[in-house]
Structure 1
Amino acid sequence: MSDSNFANNLVGSLGVTGLISMIVSLVCIGLSWWALQHVKLDLFIRFPKSPQGKLLHLLLAIVLGHFVAKFLLDYLNWSQMIKYMF
């Protein structure tokens, strides 16, 4: 029974970690989208209001949000590992 409880706790912990990662990623992508609204893309592309310009805007928000979320989640994991130093 002890092994079963350990397995259930492990699976539950992994599920919560995955959910937190998804939420942090979506929030960071949303914040990136919001921040990129004030970037003048017309300096880099001819027609920023075209579908291709909007797609580029979306892709930039996803990439930037992904990197920010990865940094935040890595930082959270690193801060949790500090307790093993002492």
Structure 2
Amino acid sequence: MDGATQLALSSLVDILISLACILVCWWVLTGVRLEVIFKKGRKTAVKALHVILALVLGHQLATFFIDYLGWSKLLGQLF
């Protein structure tokens, strides 16, 4: 496999990992009652916080998995 194809495949895997992690964080956050933090009638603010938290936490989780995947690939060069 040439370098461009390998880079494209790696980028596609990174995008899919990121999207999967954001979806997992969204799913987990649906069980958290964020509306208790806000005043009544602030549904838009609660949804906005829900989206922001899912994106931030999902990005952090995806970064961990992508780094871990990269480190595990590099271990093959150790031996």
Q: TM-score, normalised by structure 2?
A: 0.89
Aligned sequence identity (%): 35
- Alignment-derived partner of residue 64 in structure 1: 57
- Alignment-derived partner of residue 13 in structure 2: 20
- Alignment-derived partner of residue 4 in structure 2: 11
- Alignment-derived partner of residue 43 in structure 2: 50
The answer as to whether partners of 1:31 and 1:65 remain within 8 angstroms in 2 is: yes
Query: 2:25 is aligned with what amino acid?
Result: S
RMSD between superposed Cα atoms in Å = 1.7
Where in structure 1 are there 5+ consecutive unaligned residues?
1-7
Work out whether 1:29 is the aligned partner of 2:22. Answer: yes
Where in structure 2 are there 5+ consecutive unaligned residues?
none
Distance in 2 between the 1:74 and 1:84 partners? 16
Q: How has the CA–CA distance of structure 1 residues 38 and 81 changed in structure 2, closer, same or farther, with 3 Å as cutoff?
A: same
Match of 1:77 among 67, 70, 76: 70
Q: How has the CA–CA distance of structure 1 residues 36 and 45 changed in structure 2, closer, same or farther, with 3 Å as cutoff?
A: same
**1:15-65 deviation digits (Å, cap 9, x = unpaired):** 111111111100100000000001121232224861121011001000000
Q: TM-score, normalised by structure 1?
A: 0.82
Query: 1:20 is aligned with what amino acid?
Result: V
